[in-house]
Amino acid sequence: MGKGSKDKRDIYYRKAKEHGWRARSAYKLLQIDEKYDILEGVSKAVDLCAAPGSWSQVLSRRLYLKQKITVSPRYDLDDSNDNQEDDDGDEDEKIEPDENVKIVAVDLQPMAPLPGVIQLQGDITKLSTAQEIIKQFEGDFADLVVCDGAPDVTGLHCIDIYIQGQLILAALHIACNVLGKEGTFVAKIFRGKDNDLLHNQFLTIFKEVYIFKPSSSRNSSIEAFIVAKKYNPPEGFDPKLMTPFLNVGERNFDQLTGINRIIIPFMVCGDMSAYDSDVTYPLQLEGEEEPYTYHEPVQKPIDPPYAGMKNMPQPKPVSDDSPEMEVLAKPGTSTKS
Ligand code: SAM
């Protein structure tokens, strides 16, 4: 394959290299911001699952280095983005970094340094990593938490979605612990049948929730992004108690009260006074005086679809003393006498 062939096939890959982004994913965050203004007024941000670091670069350039970035690279326009280069410390242009800005980036993998970005290496599903991130804010709040986390896909769709769900849950747990009121949370999701549910669950703690697929995200990929704005937890909600980190190993829900313990009522009609629909009872029930007699169903189907299948092999009629499993007649023979 020629050197330029991937550049030709993937405009975002090519533009990312031209403009010094570590990955084409930078454009996803830029397009999310273009649509929802998520970087507006942000001075404290967390980038979860950050390596190799293109989202952190966006945060570093926009928030810390205060650079203007033109967003979507358009194939038919000339490069108006040419000022977006070399943020890794050796650029010529004069930079006046905003020292009030705090950006914390976390990944399992190590990441090359970036200006104004505090880097942590760890697993975001671990309590110790969550605590380390929370510690960085010293009791202060973040305005934005983003998570572009993706597991190594197995190809087994349900397992991949499950693991992705664990990453979203862990990221949300961290977000709920560091976000200030009205803060924003963005996370990669896999599009699936439960997205409506996810959207509604997020609406319980954020005022605005969107699911967005930037044009830099390939159509063939099942990824999309949940964009949750205006963090607004219910009164008394204590995210420290939120699963998956709740009493690791012990799961003691008794300590949860009020808004932190919502139990959805589910009435089971399961006392011993009625027959259990899952139990096989003897034909002659205890206490019944009349001997068991077979009754035909009250109303048989009038025109069942199987009625036309006269030539199909029929099962032997089951009599009381038949063994439980009836052997079907061989194809082409009839068991009818
Ligand atoms: N946003 C990044 C960028 O722009 O460069 C790309 C992120 S990449 C698609 C997904 C990252 O998720 C990988 O670097 C991977 O190491 C990280 N990751 C996956 N599971 C993780 C976990 N449990 N904790 C921390 N990072 C994780």
Q: What is the ipTM of this complex?
A: 0.99
Pocket test for ligand 1, best of 25, 48, 49 (most atoms within 8 A of CB): 49
User: Which amino acid residue places its CA nearest to atom 23 of ligand 1?
Assistant: 123
108 CA distance to ligand 1 middle (Å): 7
Catalytic residue among 28, 44, 102, 188: 188
> Does residue 330 come out as left (phi exceeding 0), alpha (psi in the -120 to 50 range) or beta?
beta
HSE value, Cβ hemisphere, 13 Å, CA-based, for 150? 16
DSSP class per residue in 123-160: -TTSHHHHHHHHHHTTT--EEEEEE-------S-HHHH
- CA 55 to CA 63: how far, in whole Å? 12
Whether 129 is in the pocket of ligand 1, judged by its Cβ within 6 Å, is: no
Per DSSP, what are the bridge partners of residue 211?
226
Query: What pLDDT does 329 receive?
Result: 41
Is 15 known to be catalytic? Answer: no
How far is residue 289 from each of residues 39, 259, 282, measured CA to CA in Å? 79, 55, 14
Among 30, 54, 107, 163, residue to substitute to test ligand 1 (most atoms within 8 Å of Cβ): 107
pLDDT digits (tens, 9 = 90+) for 67-80: 988 776 564 444 44
Sheet holding 179-190, edge to edge: 117-121, 102-107, 44-48, 142-147, 179-190, 223-231, 206-212
> Which of 216, 226, 156, 221 is closest to 189 using CA atoms?
226
Per-residue model confidence as pLDDT tens digits over 298-324: 998 898 888 877 676 666 665 555 544
Q: Which of 59, 65, 66, 73 is nearest to 31 (CA)?
A: 73
For residues 278 and 151, give the distance between their C-alpha atoms in angstroms, rounded to a whole number.
40
Q: Which residues of the chain have pLDDT under 70?
A: 1, 72-95, 241-252, 268-270, 310, 312-337
Q: Assess whether the C-beta atom of 29 lies below 6 angstroms from ligand 1.
A: no
CA–CA dist 209, 227 (Å, integer): 6
Global pTM value? 0.77
pLDDT of residue 69: 85
